[in-house]
Structure 1
């Protein structure tokens, strides 16, 4: 099911009531647009950081340090940027 909204000449749109209710959005709340491939996700910015506590627990690897995760993310970002530039990434053979 899709919910549509019209874009004005100024690039503005009204977030439909169904979406506002689903995301718990109200007047003055902020949203973030996250670009993912050829689509966009609308992410509410009105929730406290504690609401995501434990969200990624199932993806953790026993014995892996924060530094290991930071290095893995940095490597992935570098590889993605290298691919965009048409160069082989760090893991290329």
Structure 2
């Protein structure tokens, strides 16, 4: 288990193992998620620009608007 000390200004240094686990570099931002029971989860914050292309499927053909409309229509009929 990793530990760090809190300064009088409320600052701390993330231990090296934590920085490596989150792939953090100088200037990166982190998020803190407060869980029930007083636990806190630390996550690397990613700018929206870093998500560009995350859903890209190079081997697949682009889906046409007509194909999307057909799929929506078929799904709506299945639930009726």
Q: What interval of TM-score do these two structures reach, taking the shorter chain for normalisation?
A: 0.5 to 0.7
Matches within 5 A, 1:49-68: 49=51
Q: Give 2:3's aligned residue.
A: 4
8 Å contact 1:25–1:46 — kept in the other structure?
no
Task: Return the offset for 1:15.
Answer: 0.6
CA distance, structure 1, for counterparts of residue 26 and residue 9 of structure 2: 20
Q: Give 2:28's aligned residue.
A: 29
Gaps of 5+ in 2: 56-74, 76-80
Gaps of 5+ in 1: 54-62, 64-93
CA distance, structure 1, for counterparts of residue 14 and residue 7 of structure 2: 13
Q: Larger RCO: Structure 1 or Structure 2 (Cα < 8 Å, ≥ 6 residues apart)?
A: 2
Alignment partner of 1:45 is 2:53:
no
CA distance, structure 1, for counterparts of residue 46 and residue 27 of structure 2: 9
Q: Taking structure 1 as the reference length, what is the TM-score of the superposition?
A: 0.49
Q: What is the root-mean-square deviation of aligned Cα atoms in Å?
A: 2.0
What is the aligned length?
52
Q: Taking structure 2 as the reference length, what is the TM-score of the superposition?
A: 0.57
